[in-house]
Structure 1
Amino acid sequence: PALLGALAEADVDDDPWPALVPWLRAHTGAELAERAELLGVAAGPVEPRRASVPEPLAPRPLEGALVVDFSALWAGPLCAHLLGSAGARVVKVETPARPDGARRGDPGFYDLLHAGHRSVVLDPADRDGRRAMRALVDAADIVVEASRPRALARFGLDAEEAVAAGTTWVSITAYGRARDRIGFGDDVSAAAGLVCREPDLAPLFCGDAIADPLTGLTAAALAATAPPGGGGVLWDVAMADVVAATLPAGEPAASPEAVRHGDAWVLEGEDAALPVAAPERREPRGKAPEMGRDTADVLAGLGITVP
């Protein structure tokens, strides 16, 4: 609430909307985006865009490749999970101050994305912790991260330097590495133009943080691409661009209405009602490791001094 109050230049309580609505009505979308970026608020106007994302090239062998995953929540971990499913060794790196927030969510979902991975905890506030982080990056074939570049710089990590040494670096951000703007799956999807509407045109989020799985799939396909020329490569994967690239050109069209029939849903088209298949839950391959369980073993196995 405090940040939303700063955004609206007003005092707010637990319900910020009475203060936000007048401010939003009085300001443009560009002003909202500028102020949200300044304050670090995940917000922005709906701006349908035409965007392209890099195209995957020839596949690379992944069996035994070392993936160092600094990401959290959904998009980055999904990328690492898919690479692990293709045979890569995945090491998840967290810090004591900022463990993956998904650990506090659905345990089954966390297990689905992280079972079979190794868990390392390193403290970037400690000189030896930063040294071990850099050594892990040096040993990696693929690095996956979802931080703004300046945040990684504080850890002593440099994407360009790693790429020059031959590493594939997958950088997942809300709006691209050149922007200092934060975002999450729901707001990024809407900002990119993916919005559902009620019959009265009231806007709704489409799906549940749908930018995350779309981006995770895209990032994994790029990470599995053989680097051009055999060297390193930096994949700048902007979630907003990934979402925008999935949308058709032109004005949005009305979609068939979804209607509930008993325990099922159907799409009512002009000629027929089409049943919607029930989602199938994938079962995890095992349990995700406890945070930091493998720190000593992973570092020792790579010849890195344990902090």
Structure 2
Amino acid sequence: MVGALLDSALTDWAADLRAGRIGSAGWAGGVEPAWAASGAMALTGQPDGPPLGLTVPLVARLDAALAVIRTLAAGLGHPFPPADASTGGAPPSAGPLLGERAAALGLTRGGVLSAGRAARLVQAADGWLAVNLARPDDVDLLPAWLEAEVEPTAADRAADVRPVAERTVAAPVRPWTNLAALVATRPAASLVERAELLGLAVSLAVDPAAAAADEQARARGQRFPFAPFLVDGLPPEAAARAAPRRPEARRDGGFSVVDLSSLWAGPLCAQLLGLAGGQVVKVEGAGRLDGARQGPPDFYDLLHAGQASVTVDLRAPAGRAALVGLIERADVVLEASRPRALETLGIDPTAMIARNPRLTWVSITGYGRTGPWRQRPAFGDDAAAAAGAVAVDGAGGPVFLGDAIADPVTGVLAAAGALASVAAGGGHHLDVALREAVGSLLAGRPVLPDRDPTAADGSPVRVAPPRLRAPRGRAAPAGQDNDRLLAGAGPSTIAGQS
């Protein structure tokens, strides 16, 4: 399939990103000021140590992607609302987006424990693993993974090593102490392979250049630094050169978005597309709503206020048909399922684009829709470690970077790519991997340093705490718009199409 020519605002940014030509406006004592101001630096480092900076301008590179979104939105006739954190608009910098979930939950830096306390960096016999036990059932799978019973200790039951939402309710305790002892004697690669068979999110934490040279990266045609995403199977700049036609653009500049994703990366992408003029319909399974609804209301409202809400029963033929009907009328579809989930529903992105040539399909996965790791589960913290997106403390050991940093980074980059396709008339499939998105910001850092800089090294910058934009309103109750949108109107009516 040949897609539409992408706007040069995106392709130039992608080329500059890979070449390492995007830098910071300044450095203060070895620390990027925008990183210090983002809230993510406050979440990086040991709990009893100083917050850590980075040796690359990560926020400046993410800000450049936000500038692409602003440029494309203005070109579509829907410029971003004025930057105002008090009204849920986009902040002048993308940096604060990295800490919004932490602000809503009251998270703090945990060092080898993630800010959310559901993941831990664990040293195996020959390397470091990121083990993410984000789902309640994950703890039950540990005996099968490690071929031994793994019981929690008193230290594992302490409140400060448990997720905030689990500190006052009955929930499985992650047995980190004994897990670490068992992992320490075993080779890392075999543990990762066995975890994949069980559906556990476990990754090998490696140097960034090594990540971009493994079997998954090679299968996807990647190199260091990663391309931020693939467009019709190619890096953005290559897709632009290989795409000779431009479908007719929408006259009114408006566009409709069907969001099938959940949690953080996809919903942040949808929220940014909404700020750029998209009319968003959030679609949830009738028996499986977005788990983020159970989290802090302000964070969920921030990402979903102003969006329509539809629920469909994906187990029933009528529900699947209703979903296909929504997709056929959409300009953008966002989904964050492993490939087999769509295959089970009988939905093929390539076929849907063929039926709806203006459609932009955005797939968000941990490692990409192609390659030997296409079905491997991932969450933001372990995917970042798999890209080499970790910091190094004063003792030379890895610590998690921010709070699930691959999630918000992916949300911003996916929005830039989706909007570039919309601006060109659609017809693209964006394959966005959490690992590749965050890894694309690491040009100039092929190997991890002996240690990362701290504000204590003489930097005059102020390390800001995470903060949350105020929601623009309340998110719609699940299924509020079923009667209107599942009766045949579809999201095209929301976007002003006839």
TM-score, length basis structure 2: 0.55
Contact 2:331 2:422 in 1 (8 A): no
> 3-state DSSP class of the match of 2:310?
strand
Contact 1:10 1:19 in 2 (8 A): no
Whole-Å separation in 1 of the counterparts to 2:275 and 2:179: 45
Aligned equivalent of 1:262:
none
Cα offset, 1:110, TM superposition: 0.5
Which 10-residue stretch deviates more, 290-299 or 158-167?
158-167
Q: Percent identity?
A: 47
Deviations 1:58-99 (A, max 9, x none): 9x7684311000000000000111111111110000012211
Aligned equivalent of 1:3:
141
The reply on whether 1:199 has 2:358 as its aligned counterpart is no
Correspondence 1:257-268 to 2 at 5 A: 257=454, 267-268=455-456
Aligned equivalent of 1:55:
236
Which 10-residue stretch deviates more, 238-247 or 48-57?
48-57
Contact 1:63 1:88 in 2 (8 A): no
Whole-Å separation in 2 of the counterparts to 1:120 and 1:63: 24
Tell me which of 362, 365, 371 is aligned to 1:173.
365
Whole-Å separation in 1 of the counterparts to 2:323 and 2:274: 20
Correspondence 1:148-167 to 2 at 5 A: 148-165=338-355, 166=357, 167=359
Letter in 1 for 2:379: F
> 3-state DSSP class of the match of 2:342?
helix
Tell me which of 114, 122, 126 is aligned to 2:316.
126
Whole-Å separation in 1 of the counterparts to 2:277 and 2:490: 22
Aligned equivalent of 1:261:
none
Aligned equivalent of 1:81:
271
Whole-Å separation in 1 of the counterparts to 2:424 and 2:280: 25
Contact 1:32 1:45 in 2 (8 A): no
Structure 1 residues 230, 293: closer, same or farther in 2, change over 3 A? closer
Contact 2:265 2:410 in 1 (8 A): yes
Aligned equivalent of 2:452:
255
Structure 1 residues 150, 67: closer, same or farther in 2, change over 3 A? same
Which 10-residue stretch deviates more, 126-135 or 153-162?
153-162
> 3-state DSSP class of the match of 1:275?
coil
Tell me which of 297, 302, 305 is aligned to 2:489.
302
Q: For structure 1, list consecutive stretches of 5 or more residues without a partner in the other structure.
A: 258-266
Correspondence 1:1-307 to 2 at 5 A: 1-13=139-151, 14-17=173-176, 19-47=178-206, 48=208, 49=211, 50=224, 51-53=226-228, 54-55=235-236, 63-165=253-355, 166=357, 167-178=359-370, 179-226=374-421, 230=425, 232-247=427-442, 248-253=444-449, 254-257=451-454, 267-270=455-458, 272-300=459-487, 302=489
Whole-Å separation in 2 of the counterparts to 1:278 and 1:181: 33
Whole-Å separation in 2 of the counterparts to 1:125 and 1:251: 46
Cα offset, 1:23, TM superposition: 4.2
Which 10-residue stretch deviates more, 65-74 or 49-58?
49-58
Structure 1 residues 162, 274: closer, same or farther in 2, change over 3 A? same
> 3-state DSSP class of the match of 2:430?
strand
> 3-state DSSP class of the match of 2:367?
coil
Which 10-residue stretch deviates more, 171-180 or 218-227?
218-227
Cα offset, 1:186, TM superposition: 1.0
Contact 1:134 1:156 in 2 (8 A): no
Deviations 1:154-193 (A, max 9, x none): 2232111112232210000001112110111111111211
> 3-state DSSP class of the match of 1:288?
coil
> 3-state DSSP class of the match of 1:44?
strand
Contact 2:421 2:427 in 1 (8 A): no
Deviations 1:121-178 (A, max 9, x none): 0001111101101111111111000001110122232111112232210000001112
Deviations 1:213-233 (A, max 9, x none): 000001000100136985511
Letter in 1 for 2:485: V
TM-score, length basis structure 1: 0.87
Which 10-residue stretch deviates more, 234-243 or 279-288?
279-288
Which 10-residue stretch deviates more, 134-143 or 200-209?
200-209
Structure 1 residues 40, 245: closer, same or farther in 2, change over 3 A? same
Contact 2:332 2:418 in 1 (8 A): yes
Contact 1:5 1:16 in 2 (8 A): no
Structure 1 residues 231, 105: closer, same or farther in 2, change over 3 A? closer
Higher strand proportion (structure 1 or 2) = 1
Whole-Å separation in 2 of the counterparts to 1:2 and 1:278: 35
Aligned length: 293
Structure 1 residues 228, 109: closer, same or farther in 2, change over 3 A? closer
Whole-Å separation in 2 of the counterparts to 1:31 and 1:20: 15
Whole-Å separation in 1 of the counterparts to 2:422 and 2:256: 15
Whole-Å separation in 2 of the counterparts to 1:40 and 1:299: 34
Whole-Å separation in 2 of the counterparts to 1:63 and 1:269: 49
- CA RMSD, Structure 1 to Structure 2 (Å): 2.4
Deviations 1:16-72 (A, max 9, x none): 3455335423433322221121111011111332322243879x7684311000000
Whole-Å separation in 1 of the counterparts to 2:322 and 2:463: 49
Q: Which has the higher contact order (CA 8 A, sep 6+)?
A: 2
Structure 1 residues 229, 111: closer, same or farther in 2, change over 3 A? closer
